[in-house]
Structure 1
Protein backbone atom coordinates (compact mmCIF):
# COMPACT_ATOMS: atom_id res chain seq x y z
CA UNK A 1 0.00 0.00 0.00
CA UNK A 2 1.35 3.40 -0.95
CA UNK A 3 0.89 6.49 1.14
CA UNK A 4 -2.31 8.46 1.25
CA UNK A 5 -2.28 11.64 -0.81
CA UNK A 6 -4.71 14.45 -0.01
CA UNK A 7 -5.25 17.30 -2.44
CA UNK A 8 -6.98 20.66 -2.33
CA UNK A 9 -7.72 22.56 -5.52
CA UNK A 10 -7.97 26.24 -6.32
CA UNK A 11 -11.49 26.68 -7.72
CA UNK A 12 -10.20 29.54 -9.85
CA UNK A 13 -7.98 27.05 -11.68
CA UNK A 14 -10.51 24.22 -11.95
CA UNK A 15 -11.69 23.54 -15.50
CA UNK A 16 -15.48 23.89 -15.40
CA UNK A 17 -16.91 23.08 -18.80
CA UNK A 18 -19.93 25.15 -19.75
CA UNK A 19 -20.92 22.45 -22.21
CA UNK A 20 -21.04 19.95 -19.36
CA UNK A 21 -23.12 22.32 -17.23
CA UNK A 22 -25.66 22.58 -20.05
CA UNK A 23 -25.74 18.82 -20.44
CA UNK A 24 -26.41 18.32 -16.75
CA UNK A 25 -29.24 20.81 -17.17
CA UNK A 26 -30.70 18.53 -19.85
CA UNK A 27 -29.53 20.32 -22.98
CA UNK A 28 -28.60 17.69 -25.53
CA UNK A 29 -26.22 18.38 -28.39
CA UNK A 30 -27.78 20.76 -30.90
CA UNK A 31 -30.49 22.08 -28.61
CA UNK A 32 -30.57 25.85 -28.44
CA UNK A 33 -29.76 27.41 -25.06
CA UNK A 34 -31.65 30.62 -24.31
CA UNK A 35 -29.73 33.83 -23.70
CA UNK A 36 -31.28 34.01 -20.23
CA UNK A 37 -29.94 30.58 -19.33
CA UNK A 38 -26.52 31.44 -20.73
CA UNK A 39 -26.37 34.59 -18.62
CA UNK A 40 -27.43 32.67 -15.53
CA UNK A 41 -24.82 29.96 -16.10
CA UNK A 42 -22.07 32.57 -16.56
CA UNK A 43 -23.16 34.43 -13.44
CA UNK A 44 -23.32 31.31 -11.28
CA UNK A 45 -20.00 29.98 -12.61
CA UNK A 46 -18.30 33.24 -11.65
CA UNK A 47 -19.78 33.12 -8.15
CA UNK A 48 -19.10 29.41 -7.70
CA UNK A 49 -15.37 29.95 -8.13
CA UNK A 50 -15.50 31.98 -4.92
CA UNK A 51 -17.10 29.30 -2.74
CA UNK A 52 -16.38 25.88 -4.27
CA UNK A 53 -14.18 23.75 -2.00
CA UNK A 54 -12.80 20.99 -4.27
CA UNK A 55 -10.79 18.30 -2.49
CA UNK A 56 -9.61 14.76 -3.15
CA UNK A 57 -7.84 11.87 -1.48
CA UNK A 58 -6.29 8.90 -3.21
CA UNK A 59 -3.99 6.01 -2.56
CA UNK A 60 -2.64 3.06 -4.49
CA UNK A 61 -3.14 -0.36 -2.89
CA UNK A 62 -2.31 -3.94 -3.79
CA UNK A 63 -5.09 -5.59 -5.77
CA UNK A 64 -5.33 -8.51 -3.30
CA UNK A 65 -8.42 -7.21 -1.42
CA UNK A 66 -10.21 -7.05 -4.77
CA UNK A 67 -9.18 -10.54 -5.91
CA UNK A 68 -12.68 -11.96 -5.47
CA UNK A 69 -14.10 -9.34 -7.85
CA UNK A 70 -13.90 -10.57 -11.43
CA UNK A 71 -13.19 -7.10 -12.80
CA UNK A 72 -9.91 -6.83 -10.86
CA UNK A 73 -8.24 -10.19 -11.48
CA UNK A 74 -5.72 -8.80 -13.98
CA UNK A 75 -4.64 -5.81 -11.85
CA UNK A 76 -1.43 -5.66 -9.84
CA UNK A 77 -2.49 -2.55 -7.94
CA UNK A 78 -5.60 -0.40 -7.70
CA UNK A 79 -5.70 3.38 -7.33
CA UNK A 80 -8.64 4.39 -5.14
CA UNK A 81 -9.95 7.93 -5.12
CA UNK A 82 -12.61 9.95 -3.32
CA UNK A 83 -13.17 13.53 -4.44
CA UNK A 84 -15.74 16.25 -3.86
CA UNK A 85 -16.85 19.71 -4.88
CA UNK A 86 -17.52 20.43 -1.21
CA UNK A 87 -20.58 20.74 1.01
CA UNK A 88 -21.16 24.40 0.08
CA UNK A 89 -22.86 23.28 -3.14
CA UNK A 90 -25.82 21.86 -1.23
CA UNK A 91 -25.96 24.90 1.03
CA UNK A 92 -26.14 27.25 -1.96
CA UNK A 93 -28.75 25.11 -3.72
CA UNK A 94 -30.95 25.02 -0.60
CA UNK A 95 -30.56 28.77 -0.12
CA UNK A 96 -31.63 29.49 -3.70
CA UNK A 97 -34.67 27.21 -3.41
CA UNK A 98 -35.67 28.97 -0.17
CA UNK A 99 -35.48 32.28 -2.00
CA UNK A 100 -37.72 30.89 -4.73
CA UNK A 101 -35.02 30.93 -7.41
CA UNK A 102 -35.38 27.35 -8.61
CA UNK A 103 -33.71 28.03 -11.97
CA UNK A 104 -30.52 29.31 -10.35
CA UNK A 105 -30.62 26.41 -7.86
CA UNK A 106 -30.64 23.90 -10.71
CA UNK A 107 -27.73 25.67 -12.38
CA UNK A 108 -25.69 25.61 -9.16
CA UNK A 109 -26.52 21.92 -8.72
CA UNK A 110 -25.24 21.24 -12.24
CA UNK A 111 -22.08 23.25 -11.57
CA UNK A 112 -21.47 21.14 -8.47
CA UNK A 113 -21.68 17.96 -10.53
CA UNK A 114 -19.30 19.35 -13.15
CA UNK A 115 -16.87 20.47 -10.44
CA UNK A 116 -16.79 17.03 -8.83
CA UNK A 117 -16.07 15.41 -12.19
CA UNK A 118 -13.40 18.02 -12.94
CA UNK A 119 -11.63 17.06 -9.71
CA UNK A 120 -11.94 13.38 -10.68
CA UNK A 121 -10.43 14.14 -14.10
CA UNK A 122 -7.48 15.95 -12.52
CA UNK A 123 -6.73 13.16 -10.03
CA UNK A 124 -7.17 10.55 -12.76
CA UNK A 125 -4.49 12.32 -14.81
CA UNK A 126 -2.12 12.29 -11.84
CA UNK A 127 -2.68 8.55 -11.36
CA UNK A 128 -1.98 7.94 -15.05
CA UNK A 129 1.28 9.90 -14.79
CA UNK A 130 2.27 7.95 -11.69
CA UNK A 131 1.81 4.68 -13.57
CA UNK A 132 3.62 5.89 -16.69
CA UNK A 133 6.60 6.97 -14.60
CA UNK A 134 7.13 3.35 -13.58
CA UNK A 135 6.36 1.96 -17.01
CA UNK A 136 2.94 0.63 -16.02
CA UNK A 137 -0.47 0.69 -17.65
CA UNK A 138 -3.78 2.00 -16.34
CA UNK A 139 -7.42 1.53 -17.27
CA UNK A 140 -10.22 4.04 -17.47
CA UNK A 141 -11.67 4.91 -14.10
CA UNK A 142 -14.84 3.21 -12.95
CA UNK A 143 -17.10 3.61 -9.94
CA UNK A 144 -19.25 1.39 -7.70
CA UNK A 145 -22.81 1.38 -8.96
CA UNK A 146 -21.68 1.59 -12.59
CA UNK A 147 -20.10 -0.77 -15.10
CA UNK A 148 -21.67 -3.73 -13.28
CA UNK A 149 -19.65 -3.02 -10.13
CA UNK A 150 -22.01 -3.32 -7.12
CA UNK A 151 -22.63 -0.05 -5.28
CA UNK A 152 -22.03 -1.93 -2.02
CA UNK A 153 -18.33 -1.89 -2.86
CA UNK A 154 -18.28 1.78 -1.95
CA UNK A 155 -17.39 0.49 1.50
CA UNK A 156 -14.43 -1.40 0.04
CA UNK A 157 -13.03 1.88 -1.27
CA UNK A 158 -13.69 3.83 1.93
CA UNK A 159 -12.19 1.07 4.05
CA UNK A 160 -8.77 1.98 2.66
CA UNK A 161 -8.92 5.54 3.99
CA UNK A 162 -8.68 6.77 7.57
CA UNK A 163 -11.68 8.78 8.73
CA UNK A 164 -13.53 10.68 6.03
CA UNK A 165 -11.38 11.02 2.90
CA UNK A 166 -11.52 14.57 1.50
CA UNK A 167 -14.20 15.25 4.09
CA UNK A 168 -16.58 12.77 2.44
CA UNK A 169 -18.76 10.48 4.54
CA UNK A 170 -20.30 7.20 3.35
CA UNK A 171 -23.82 6.51 4.61
CA UNK A 172 -25.25 3.10 5.47
CA UNK A 173 -27.02 3.22 2.10
CA UNK A 174 -23.68 3.73 0.29
CA UNK A 175 -24.39 7.35 -0.57
CA UNK A 176 -21.63 9.92 -0.27
CA UNK A 177 -22.02 13.17 1.62
CA UNK A 178 -21.44 15.88 0.48
CA UNK A 179 -23.66 14.79 -2.35
CA UNK A 180 -21.46 16.25 -5.09
CA UNK A 181 -18.74 13.67 -4.56
CA UNK A 182 -17.20 10.98 -6.75
CA UNK A 183 -15.38 7.78 -5.86
CA UNK A 184 -13.57 5.61 -8.37
CA UNK A 185 -10.93 2.98 -8.98
CA UNK A 186 -8.26 2.69 -11.65
CA UNK A 187 -6.53 -0.62 -12.31
CA UNK A 188 -2.73 -0.49 -12.56
CA UNK A 189 -0.22 -3.09 -13.70
CA UNK A 190 2.88 -3.88 -15.77
CA UNK A 191 0.75 -5.36 -18.57
CA UNK A 192 -2.35 -4.05 -20.38
CA UNK A 193 -5.56 -4.93 -18.56
CA UNK A 194 -9.17 -5.40 -19.60
CA UNK A 195 -11.26 -2.25 -19.54
CA UNK A 196 -14.24 -2.38 -17.22
CA UNK A 197 -16.03 0.24 -19.26
CA UNK A 198 -14.79 0.07 -22.86
CA UNK A 199 -16.50 3.12 -24.25
CA UNK A 200 -18.53 2.89 -21.03
CA UNK A 201 -21.92 2.20 -22.59
CA UNK A 202 -21.35 -1.20 -24.26
CA UNK A 203 -20.38 -2.73 -20.91
CA UNK A 204 -23.26 -1.25 -18.92
CA UNK A 205 -26.35 -3.24 -17.97
CA UNK A 206 -28.37 0.00 -17.92
CA UNK A 207 -27.58 0.89 -21.53
CA UNK A 208 -31.04 0.26 -23.00
CA UNK A 209 -32.85 2.43 -20.45
CA UNK A 210 -30.29 5.15 -19.78
CA UNK A 211 -31.09 8.77 -20.65
CA UNK A 212 -27.36 9.49 -20.90
CA UNK A 213 -26.45 6.62 -23.21
CA UNK A 214 -23.27 7.41 -25.14
CA UNK A 215 -23.02 10.64 -23.17
CA UNK A 216 -20.00 11.74 -21.12
CA UNK A 217 -22.35 12.48 -18.22
CA UNK A 218 -22.50 8.79 -17.48
CA UNK A 219 -20.15 8.04 -14.59
CA UNK A 220 -19.62 4.48 -15.72
Structure 2
Protein backbone atom coordinates (compact mmCIF):
# COMPACT_ATOMS: atom_id res chain seq x y z
CA UNK A 1 0.00 0.00 0.00
CA UNK A 2 1.23 3.46 -0.88
CA UNK A 3 -0.34 6.65 0.47
CA UNK A 4 -0.34 9.60 -1.90
CA UNK A 5 -0.92 13.24 -1.02
CA UNK A 6 -3.25 14.58 -3.71
CA UNK A 7 -5.96 17.14 -2.95
CA UNK A 8 -8.55 18.99 -4.98
CA UNK A 9 -7.70 22.63 -5.70
CA UNK A 10 -9.46 25.58 -7.33
CA UNK A 11 -7.89 24.50 -10.63
CA UNK A 12 -10.02 21.34 -10.51
CA UNK A 13 -13.31 23.24 -10.59
CA UNK A 14 -13.76 22.94 -14.36
CA UNK A 15 -13.30 19.18 -14.17
CA UNK A 16 -15.86 18.89 -11.37
CA UNK A 17 -18.30 20.89 -13.50
CA UNK A 18 -17.64 18.60 -16.45
CA UNK A 19 -18.62 15.57 -14.36
CA UNK A 20 -21.75 17.52 -13.42
CA UNK A 21 -22.48 17.87 -17.16
CA UNK A 22 -22.30 21.64 -16.80
CA UNK A 23 -21.12 21.77 -20.42
CA UNK A 24 -19.17 25.03 -20.39
CA UNK A 25 -21.97 27.30 -19.24
CA UNK A 26 -21.15 30.41 -17.23
CA UNK A 27 -20.88 29.67 -13.54
CA UNK A 28 -22.45 32.10 -11.07
CA UNK A 29 -20.85 33.02 -7.76
CA UNK A 30 -23.22 30.84 -5.73
CA UNK A 31 -22.36 27.69 -7.67
CA UNK A 32 -18.68 28.59 -7.59
CA UNK A 33 -18.79 28.85 -3.77
CA UNK A 34 -20.80 25.65 -3.52
CA UNK A 35 -18.28 23.70 -5.59
CA UNK A 36 -15.35 24.98 -3.52
CA UNK A 37 -17.18 24.09 -0.30
CA UNK A 38 -17.84 20.55 -1.57
CA UNK A 39 -14.19 20.19 -2.61
CA UNK A 40 -13.15 20.94 0.95
CA UNK A 41 -15.63 18.41 2.34
CA UNK A 42 -14.20 15.70 0.07
CA UNK A 43 -10.59 16.68 0.81
CA UNK A 44 -11.31 16.42 4.53
CA UNK A 45 -12.32 12.76 4.38
CA UNK A 46 -10.41 11.40 1.37
CA UNK A 47 -7.53 9.01 2.00
CA UNK A 48 -5.90 8.31 -1.36
CA UNK A 49 -3.73 5.23 -1.61
CA UNK A 50 -2.83 2.62 -4.17
CA UNK A 51 -1.23 -0.74 -4.78
CA UNK A 52 0.43 -2.12 -7.88
CA UNK A 53 2.15 -5.21 -9.24
CA UNK A 54 4.58 -5.57 -12.12
CA UNK A 55 4.98 -8.46 -14.54
CA UNK A 56 7.91 -9.14 -16.83
CA UNK A 57 6.56 -10.74 -20.00
CA UNK A 58 8.37 -13.72 -21.49
CA UNK A 59 7.15 -12.64 -24.90
CA UNK A 60 6.30 -9.06 -25.88
CA UNK A 61 2.57 -8.39 -25.86
CA UNK A 62 1.61 -11.84 -24.54
CA UNK A 63 -0.21 -12.14 -21.22
CA UNK A 64 1.02 -14.76 -18.74
CA UNK A 65 -1.43 -17.44 -17.63
CA UNK A 66 -2.07 -15.62 -14.35
CA UNK A 67 -3.47 -12.69 -16.34
CA UNK A 68 -5.47 -14.61 -18.93
CA UNK A 69 -8.62 -12.77 -17.84
CA UNK A 70 -7.41 -9.81 -19.92
CA UNK A 71 -9.40 -10.65 -23.03
CA UNK A 72 -10.35 -8.79 -26.19
CA UNK A 73 -8.50 -7.17 -29.05
CA UNK A 74 -8.24 -3.69 -27.54
CA UNK A 75 -6.00 -4.63 -24.62
CA UNK A 76 -3.86 -6.92 -26.79
CA UNK A 77 -3.25 -4.06 -29.19
CA UNK A 78 -2.54 -1.76 -26.28
CA UNK A 79 0.37 -3.87 -24.96
CA UNK A 80 1.64 -5.39 -28.21
CA UNK A 81 5.05 -3.67 -27.98
CA UNK A 82 5.44 -4.06 -24.22
CA UNK A 83 7.84 -6.28 -22.29
CA UNK A 84 6.45 -5.43 -18.85
CA UNK A 85 3.06 -4.64 -17.33
CA UNK A 86 1.99 -2.53 -14.37
CA UNK A 87 -1.34 -3.42 -12.77
CA UNK A 88 -2.65 -0.60 -10.60
CA UNK A 89 -5.54 -0.26 -8.16
CA UNK A 90 -6.21 3.09 -6.49
CA UNK A 91 -8.89 4.52 -4.21
CA UNK A 92 -9.71 7.63 -2.21
CA UNK A 93 -11.30 5.59 0.55
CA UNK A 94 -14.68 4.72 2.02
CA UNK A 95 -14.84 8.02 3.91
CA UNK A 96 -15.85 9.82 0.72
CA UNK A 97 -18.73 7.38 0.09
CA UNK A 98 -19.93 7.86 3.67
CA UNK A 99 -19.73 11.64 3.47
CA UNK A 100 -21.76 11.70 0.25
CA UNK A 101 -24.46 9.48 1.77
CA UNK A 102 -24.72 11.75 4.82
CA UNK A 103 -24.92 14.83 2.61
CA UNK A 104 -27.80 13.28 0.63
CA UNK A 105 -29.94 13.50 3.78
CA UNK A 106 -29.25 17.24 4.14
CA UNK A 107 -28.56 18.69 0.70
CA UNK A 108 -28.99 16.59 -2.46
CA UNK A 109 -27.33 19.23 -4.66
CA UNK A 110 -24.23 19.21 -2.48
CA UNK A 111 -24.17 15.41 -2.55
CA UNK A 112 -24.16 15.44 -6.37
CA UNK A 113 -21.33 17.95 -6.43
CA UNK A 114 -19.36 15.93 -3.88
CA UNK A 115 -19.82 12.84 -6.02
CA UNK A 116 -18.29 14.75 -8.96
CA UNK A 117 -15.50 15.97 -6.68
CA UNK A 118 -14.74 12.37 -5.76
CA UNK A 119 -14.58 11.35 -9.42
CA UNK A 120 -12.26 14.25 -10.14
CA UNK A 121 -10.02 13.42 -7.20
CA UNK A 122 -9.56 9.73 -8.02
CA UNK A 123 -8.61 10.67 -11.59
CA UNK A 124 -6.11 13.21 -10.25
CA UNK A 125 -4.67 10.53 -7.98
CA UNK A 126 -4.27 8.14 -10.92
CA UNK A 127 -2.72 10.89 -13.06
CA UNK A 128 -0.18 11.58 -10.33
CA UNK A 129 0.69 7.89 -9.93
CA UNK A 130 1.04 7.45 -13.69
CA UNK A 131 3.29 10.53 -13.94
CA UNK A 132 5.52 9.11 -11.22
CA UNK A 133 5.80 5.80 -13.05
CA UNK A 134 6.65 7.61 -16.29
CA UNK A 135 9.45 9.55 -14.62
CA UNK A 136 10.84 6.41 -13.00
CA UNK A 137 10.81 4.30 -16.15
CA UNK A 138 12.12 7.04 -18.41
CA UNK A 139 15.33 6.99 -16.37
CA UNK A 140 15.68 3.38 -17.55
CA UNK A 141 14.91 4.34 -21.17
CA UNK A 142 11.50 2.74 -20.98
CA UNK A 143 8.20 4.22 -22.13
CA UNK A 144 4.65 3.76 -20.87
CA UNK A 145 1.29 3.40 -22.55
CA UNK A 146 -1.62 5.36 -21.11
CA UNK A 147 -3.55 3.52 -18.42
CA UNK A 148 -6.26 1.20 -19.70
CA UNK A 149 -9.15 0.23 -17.43
CA UNK A 150 -11.79 -2.52 -17.59
CA UNK A 151 -14.77 -1.27 -19.55
CA UNK A 152 -12.70 0.52 -22.17
CA UNK A 153 -12.60 -0.87 -25.69
CA UNK A 154 -13.71 -4.50 -25.63
CA UNK A 155 -12.05 -5.26 -22.28
CA UNK A 156 -15.06 -6.31 -20.16
CA UNK A 157 -15.76 -4.51 -16.91
CA UNK A 158 -16.67 -7.91 -15.46
CA UNK A 159 -12.97 -8.69 -14.90
CA UNK A 160 -12.81 -6.20 -12.01
CA UNK A 161 -13.00 -8.92 -9.35
CA UNK A 162 -10.10 -10.88 -10.88
CA UNK A 163 -8.12 -7.66 -11.29
CA UNK A 164 -8.63 -6.66 -7.66
CA UNK A 165 -7.71 -10.17 -6.49
CA UNK A 166 -4.49 -10.40 -8.50
CA UNK A 167 -3.12 -7.15 -7.04
CA UNK A 168 -4.44 -8.06 -3.56
CA UNK A 169 -6.29 -4.74 -3.38
CA UNK A 170 -8.92 -5.90 -0.89
CA UNK A 171 -6.44 -6.70 1.86
CA UNK A 172 -3.98 -3.94 1.08
CA UNK A 173 -6.19 -0.91 0.34
CA UNK A 174 -9.72 -2.09 1.15
CA UNK A 175 -11.07 -2.21 -2.41
CA UNK A 176 -13.81 -4.80 -3.01
CA UNK A 177 -16.04 -5.67 -5.94
CA UNK A 178 -19.75 -6.34 -5.38
CA UNK A 179 -21.63 -9.25 -6.94
CA UNK A 180 -22.95 -6.80 -9.52
CA UNK A 181 -19.41 -5.71 -10.43
CA UNK A 182 -19.42 -2.35 -8.65
CA UNK A 183 -16.15 -1.35 -7.00
CA UNK A 184 -16.32 -0.38 -3.33
CA UNK A 185 -15.31 2.24 -2.29
CA UNK A 186 -17.03 3.64 -5.38
CA UNK A 187 -14.26 6.14 -6.10
CA UNK A 188 -11.75 3.44 -6.95
CA UNK A 189 -9.96 2.64 -10.20
CA UNK A 190 -8.10 -0.32 -11.67
CA UNK A 191 -5.86 0.13 -14.68
CA UNK A 192 -3.15 -1.62 -16.66
CA UNK A 193 -0.12 0.23 -18.04
CA UNK A 194 2.29 -1.27 -20.53
CA UNK A 195 6.07 -0.71 -20.41
CA UNK A 196 8.12 -0.73 -23.62
CA UNK A 197 11.80 -0.30 -24.42
CA UNK A 198 10.90 1.62 -27.56
CA UNK A 199 9.08 4.89 -28.06
CA UNK A 200 5.40 4.24 -28.52
CA UNK A 201 2.96 5.87 -30.85
CA UNK A 202 1.09 8.69 -29.16
CA UNK A 203 -2.09 6.83 -28.37
CA UNK A 204 -5.05 8.50 -26.76
CA UNK A 205 -8.44 7.39 -25.59
CA UNK A 206 -11.15 8.04 -28.14
CA UNK A 207 -14.92 7.75 -28.18
CA UNK A 208 -14.68 5.36 -31.13
CA UNK A 209 -12.76 2.83 -29.04
CA UNK A 210 -15.18 2.74 -26.12
CA UNK A 211 -17.79 0.05 -25.57
CA UNK A 212 -20.14 2.65 -24.05
CA UNK A 213 -20.20 4.70 -27.26
CA UNK A 214 -23.92 4.30 -27.95
CA UNK A 215 -25.10 4.91 -24.38
CA UNK A 216 -22.55 7.53 -23.25
CA UNK A 217 -24.14 10.27 -21.15
CA UNK A 218 -21.31 12.67 -21.95
CA UNK A 219 -21.64 12.46 -25.73
CA UNK A 220 -25.36 13.21 -25.45
CA UNK A 221 -24.53 16.68 -24.12
CA UNK A 222 -21.47 17.27 -26.32
CA UNK A 223 -18.61 16.59 -23.90
CA UNK A 224 -16.09 13.77 -23.35
CA UNK A 225 -15.01 11.70 -20.35
CA UNK A 226 -11.32 12.24 -21.17
CA UNK A 227 -9.08 15.24 -21.60
Report if TM-score (shorter chain) is over 0.5: yes
Greater share of helix: 2
Mapped to 1, the partners of 2:89 and 2:169 lie a distance apart of: 12
Which structure 1 segments of 5+ residues have no match? 1-5
Mapped to 2, the partners of 1:154 and 1:194 lie a distance apart of: 27
The structural deviation recorded for 1:27 is 0.8
Aligned to 2:43: 49
Partners of 1:16 and 1:118 within 8 A in 2: no
What pairs with 1:4-153 in structure 2 (closer than 5 Å)? 6-12=1-7, 17-29=12-24, 31-63=25-57, 64-65=63-64, 66=67, 69=71, 70=73, 71=76, 72-99=79-106, 101-153=107-159
Q: Secondary structure at the match of 1:81?
A: strand
Mapped to 2, the partners of 1:88 and 1:40 lie a distance apart of: 20
Mapped to 2, the partners of 1:77 and 1:86 lie a distance apart of: 29
The structural deviation recorded for 1:73 is 3.8
Q: Could you tell me the TM-score, scaled by structure 2's length?
A: 0.81
The structural deviation recorded for 1:157 is 2.4
Which structure 2 segments of 5+ residues have no match? 58-62
Mapped to 1, the partners of 2:31 and 2:226 lie a distance apart of: 23
Mapped to 2, the partners of 1:122 and 1:15 lie a distance apart of: 17
Partners of 1:84 and 1:168 within 8 A in 2: yes
The structural deviation recorded for 1:36 is 1.6
CA RMSD, 1 decimal: 2.6
The structural deviation recorded for 1:172 is 3.1
Mapped to 1, the partners of 2:159 and 2:96 lie a distance apart of: 26
Any idea what the Cα deviations from partners look like across 1:40-89, whole Å, max 9, x if unmatched?
Answer: 11112223322211111112213432477442343211111111111111
Mapped to 2, the partners of 1:22 and 1:51 lie a distance apart of: 21
1:89/1:27 CA distance change after superposition, 3 Å: same
The structural deviation recorded for 1:193 is 4.8
Following TM superposition, the consecutive aligned residue runs of length 4 or more in structure 1 with deviations greater than 6 angstroms are 13-16
Corresponding pairs, count: 211
Q: Secondary structure at the match of 1:17?
A: helix
Q: Could you tell me the TM-score, scaled by structure 1's length?
A: 0.83
Partners of 2:205 and 2:226 within 8 A in 1: no
Aligned to 2:60: none
